[in-house]
Chain A
């Protein structure tokens, strides 16, 4: 039987994502790819497969899916309530909760239900072999802003590639990146457009993620005056990088993300470092963020720690304990409110 996942119900804006496409910036196509690169890598580690495998990105909540063949799955990113039903040969699994940040065996004909996010923003459903949706411009990533592919709809059938792996029942330790917190940024070539008092005020402000945030970017809400610069409206359009904090003419900051435009004319106050982008994108609606400038040296250290962490993910996978009392523990998440230190797992050795 064809290996596929039938979609019965799905959150609006859910898309198939891999690591995106490089090399098309000169044609106006930003890299795109999974909003939370760490979650993508965690899924690959749990299933013991290539980081290039495409997964399903679930913004805010999941959906209802049915397998047409036995599949291995992994659930990563923003923790969501998930359960499996109706596996005909394994009635004892009816209603069995599926632990998050973990891999599972799912028989043919099983129904997987994924609810709303308990923390964070983007959950990921990975399948053994990866989704085999069309490759466009060198990647399977749907790029909504560019009109490359489209969001997954109810009744869609997502083909799944052959799976060479067999291992399931692994889990990764839960991370604390799902509650907002402190985000590190470096100065960029337009930081100088903002006078020091404006920059200081920016780093002293607590921002709230606007509910309308998407893969292009998020509006940062705050009390008090905006952060405009008089040099704002007549400068030449310049290249944009994911993580750039762009200030529009009325002084509103936007954090630009993986699917942002490749160029833009509103000035950028600074750039959030790549190691902190998973935390930034996972900030839940209404969650709070703060920003601080760090030196290039500190940012490179953080980048090195992130690369090391990604390289070691498969070594961090542990057997999932199936004891029901422990299961509950795995399913519970600390819902820390307010601003956290926000530097794990990349800040210290």
Chain B
């Protein structure tokens, strides 16, 4: 393992409820930890451990779900430790077939009413906030919370703003929200503690399609400023007017 990285964080194995094990590669979001989580999840799946029922990466960790009656926690931990020793996970390659996607986005207005509040929390004017968010090319670090819904990052350090203390009752599908140097783009209408700064017309989850999930970990996204009229124009396009190109 790379000496510099191993000094900062050793992979950590902890119980998640009765029937889960969480393998963490960091306690903060870093690119090496995110790569490690994505690659390790693939490896656990390949290993086909008897008694393991599901395995899914999140930002810097992997949740392994198992049957605690037929596979002892300690035995599973041993198997996972052996897999961890196999190779250096922190420098794993990005997934194949990544794309760069530019998504028309309305910042602020009544479509995204918390832009000013979020800008203030970041110590920026509303104009500065829009400029920074619109310039950022962010990467899908994991899909989670709701179907096909990406966590994207990392934003500049000023965006290390906390979640709200109370939940917003609901943001609509296509809402772009911000907290802790990350963006989340909502795939369904949902309550959230993150601040609603932008609105897109993108449909991330298409349950009746052969390819129900639009974004994949590794894809890169830029949220390009657009007017409410442009958004209306793309209302019937599931891609919400997004431009897509392959990353080579």
Contact = CB atoms under 8 A, between A and B. Distances in A.
A262 B14 contact: no
A315 B240 CA distance: 55
Interface in B24-59: 24, 27-29, 41, 53-59
B167 interface: yes
Interface stretch (B108-116, B206-214, B220-228): B206-214
A296 B29 CA distance: 30
Interface stretch (A33-41, A201-209, A231-239): A231-239
B163 A262 contact: no
Given A239-B22, A262-B56, A27 B148 contact: yes
A59 to B, nearest CB: 19
Given A236-B59, A237-B145, A249-B193, A296 B73 contact: yes
B55 to A, nearest CB: 8
Interface string B132-158: 000000000011111111010000000
Contacts of A304: 69
A339 interface: no
B6 interface: no
Given A23-B54, A236-B60, A28 B207 contact: no
B145 A28 contact: yes
Contacts of A299: 18, 68
B193 A266 contact: yes
Interface residues of B, number: 54
A23 B29 CA distance: 25
Nearest to B19: A274
B88 interface: no
B180 interface: yes
B166 A147 contact: no
Q: Which of B15, B18, B69 has the largest count of A CB atoms less than 10 A from its CB?
A: B18
A300 interface: yes
A273 interface: yes
Interface stretch (A3-11, A94-102, A159-167, A184-192): A184-192
Contacts of A250: 165-166
A102 B69 CA distance: 30
A237 B152 CA distance: 12
B56 A146 contact: no
Interface string A256-291: 000001111110000101100000000000000000
A271 B20 CA distance: 10
Nearest to A243: B17
Contact of A239 (B63, B164, B205): B63
Interface in B169-210: 179-180, 187-188, 190, 193, 205, 207-208
A300 B41 CA distance: 25
A149 B207 CA distance: 9
A114 B221 CA distance: 51
A137 B205 CA distance: 12
Nearest to B187: A28
A212 to B, nearest CB: 11
A249 B163 contact: yes
A273 B18 contact: yes
B162 interface: yes
B16 interface: yes
Contacts of B205: 28, 146-147
A28 B146 contact: yes
Contacts of B190: 145, 261
* 10 shortest interchain CB distances as A-B pairs: A271-B17, A249-B165, A263-B144, A25-B56, A239-B63, A26-B56, A233-B162, A189-B14, A241-B17, A261-B145
Given A27-B143, A28-B147, A273-B17, 15 more contacts: A22-B65, A26-B55, A28-B148, A136-B207, A147-B205, A186-B17, A188-B17, A237-B144, A250-B165, A261-B145, A261-B146, A266-B193, A274-B19, A296-B18, A296-B73
Interface of B: 14-20, 22, 24, 27-29, 41, 53-61, 63, 65, 68-69, 73, 142-149, 151, 160, 162-167, 179-180, 187-188, 190, 193, 205, 207-208, 212-213
18 contacts: A22-B53, A28-B146, A28-B205, A147-B188, A187-B15, A189-B22, A233-B193, A234-B163, A236-B27, A236-B59, A236-B60, A238-B22, A262-B56, A262-B144, A265-B179, A265-B193, A300-B68, A303-B69
